[in-house]
Amino acid sequence: MDFNHTQERQMLADMTGRFVREQYPIEKRHEIAASQEGFSRELWSQMAELGLIGALFPEEAGGFGGTGFDIAVVFEQLGRGLVVEPFLASLLAGTVLSRGNESQKSLLENVISGETILALAHGEPASRYMLSHVETTATKTGEGWQLNGNKAVVINGDTADQLIVSARVNGEMDDTDGIALFLVPADTDGINRRGTSTVDGYRTAEIALSNVAVGEDAVVGDAGDAYANLQTSYLLGTLAVCAEALGAIEVAIELTLDYMKTRKQFGVPIGKFQALQHRMADMMTEREQIRSAVINAAGNLDLVDREWYISAAKNLVGRSGRLIAEETIQMHGGIAMTWEYAAGHYAKRIVMIDHMFGDVDHHLERIMKLGRVA
């Protein structure tokens, strides 16, 4: 065993980290998040140029990375900067598309170069965290398909140029069989998008599909067989947000520790109080636990137990992430309750990640169902 990254991957991590540190101060981040699109096209193309999007995809998909560790190191650094650009949306949709036909796959080049924004429109108002829940329907027509239904909390769905929409071609609402994916230009007639900000400054959309007509060539993979494709995409997405949470947790702890050393009450730095020291010790311990869980998840991504390790990481991130987020605020006192100070924004992101791809309890149940691995 060797817990060091390869030299190349370490360079990727360092480069991403440097870019985020230098180009993404928190004030700028807030400005970007509050802008019309909720992210910066300019920074997005710079990030593409640096290869940060390509790092998320394997060579056969036009990228130059795509392993669990590539995804993890990039997202950890993005988490450190609370980066709002559409990395996650690109990873989710791009992964799905890489299982498509040649012409669909060629679109990935534009995703990797930052020109095209894709979003995966899969979740629905009633699906909660159930991956197979698809009420949206795809009905066969003469020329292709007609889509009807509602998609919920679609990450960057408001600005995406193209959407990958899941819809049911047969079976019951929660069946794993009978789901199809369609690549649809976002301005297609019958698509109505309502964008909103999230409480932590990211963007999502509610998307209504009403008699949306698409051609046969819009189908990604085999109609009815999309579940496995979606599953892979969500597993990668889950790994990504776990690593992102790790990055945000690192900064939350650094800010808190720094504050413990500088904030004085009762004539001493508050870090002198053992009541706070012990809790910081717990936070640091949990951070290392999360780091290990992310390593486990990334390293097992191509192996049979991947689901177990990814659920384990997500459970831990939800559980200990909440602890760290809440303690970060508490141990700062009032200052962390303000918009102006960064700590609260990190806390928000860490907690909101619990609501993506299944929360603490969802993944605890997954682990219970999957049984133990060695």
Partner 1 sequence: MDLNYTAEEQAFRDEVKTFFDKKLPGRLADKVKSKKRLTKEDQEEWHAILNEAGYLSAHWPEEFGGKAWNAIQRDMFDVEANIAGAPRVVPFGVNMLAPVLMAFGSSEQQKHYLPRILDGTDWWCQGYSEPGAGSDLASLKMTAERQGDHYILNGQKTWTTLGQHADWIFCLVRTSKEGKQQEGISFILVDMNTPGVEVRPIILLEGTHEVNEVWFTDVKVPAENLVGEENKGWTYAKYLLVHERSGIAGVGDALAGIEHLKHIARDQKKDGKPLADDPMFAARLAQLEIDLSAMRTTNMRVMQAASSGAPPGPETSMLKIKGTELRQSINDLTRRALGPYAMPFVSEALEAGYNQEPVGPDYANPVSMDYFNHRKTSIYGGSNEVQRNIISKMMMGL
Ligand X SMILES: Cc1cc2nc3c(=O)[nH]c(=O)nc-3n(C[C@H](O)[C@H](O)[C@H](O)COP(=O)(O)OP(=O)(O)OC[C@H]3O[C@@H](n4cnc5c(N)ncnc54)[C@H](O)[C@@H]3O)c2cc1C
Q: Which residues bind partner 1 (CB under 8 A)?
A: 123, 125-126, 128-130, 152-153, 173-174, 194, 196-200, 202, 204, 206, 264-267, 273, 275-276, 322, 326, 329-330, 333-334, 336-340, 344-345, 347-348, 351-352, 354-356, 359-361, 364-365
Written as one letter, the residue type at 217 is: D
Whether the CB-CB separation of 318 and 357 falls below 8 Å is answered with no
Q: How far is the CB of 320 from ligand X (least distance, A)?
A: 19
Contact pattern for ligand X over residues 271 through 300, marking x by CB under 6 A: --x-xx------------------------
Where does this chain touch ligand X (CB under 6 A) — which range of 47-55, 168-176, 224-232, 333-341?
A: 333-341
Beta strand pairing call for 162-168 and 118-121: parallel
Q: How far is the CB of 334 from partner 1 (least distance, A)?
A: 5
Of the candidate residues 55, 112, 331, 342, the single one contacting ligand X (CB under 6 A): 331
Q: How far is the CB of 214 from partner 1 (least distance, A)?
A: 25
Q: What angle do CA 232, 233, 235 make, to 5 degrees?
A: 65
> From CA 334, how far away is CA 156, in angstroms rounded?
32
Tokens of 354: 């619990």
Residue nearest to ligand X (CB): 333
Q: At which residue do the structure tokens 């996650």 appear?
A: 88
Total interface residues for ligand X by CB under 6 A:
12
> From CA 335, how far away is CA 365, in angstroms rounded?
37
123 binds, among partner 1, ligand X, none (CB under 5 to 8 A by kind): partner 1
Q: Of 47 and 131, which CB lies nearer to partner 1 in the complex structure?
A: 131
Q: Of 64 and 129, which CB lies nearer to partner 1 in the complex structure?
A: 129
**Is there binding between residue 185 and ligand X (CB under 6 A)?**
no
Where does this chain touch ligand X (CB under 6 A) — which range of 23-31, 113-121, 153-161, 270-278?
A: 270-278
> From CA 304, how far away is CA 302, in angstroms rounded?
7
What does residue 314 show for φ and ψ, rounded to 5 degrees? -70, -40
Whether the CB-CB separation of 138 and 121 falls below 8 Å is answered with no
Of the candidate residues 103, 334, 371, 374, the single one contacting ligand X (CB under 6 A): 334
Q: How far is the CB of 261 from ligand X (least distance, A)?
A: 12
Q: Of 5 and 355, which CB lies nearer to partner 1 in the complex structure?
A: 355
Q: At which residue do the structure tokens 């959309």 appear?
A: 205
**Is there binding between residue 266 and ligand X (CB under 6 A)?**
yes
What does residue 20 show for φ and ψ, rounded to 5 degrees? -65, -45
64 binds, among ligand X, partner 1, none (CB under 5 to 8 A by kind): none
Helix or strand (DSSP H, E) at 347: helix 343-352
Written as one letter, the residue type at 109 is: E
**Is there binding between residue 270 and ligand X (CB under 6 A)?**
yes
Q: Of 276 and 280, which CB lies nearer to ligand X in the complex structure?
A: 276
Tokens of 134: 């698809």
Of 148, 189, 181, which Cα lies nearest the Cα of 165?
Answer: 181
Tokens of 13: 């991590």
Q: Of 303 and 335, which CB lies nearer to ligand X in the complex structure?
A: 335
Q: How far is the CB of 344 from ligand X (least distance, A)?
A: 11
> From CA 299, how far away is CA 5, in angstroms rounded?
11
Written as one letter, the residue type at 360 is: V
> From CA 240, how far away is CA 255, in angstroms rounded?
23
198 binds, among ligand X, partner 1, none (CB under 5 to 8 A by kind): partner 1
Mutual angle of helices 68-81 and 227-262, in 10-degree steps: 40
Q: What residues make contact with ligand X under the rule CB under 6 A?
A: 263, 265-266, 270, 273, 275-276, 330-331, 333-334, 337
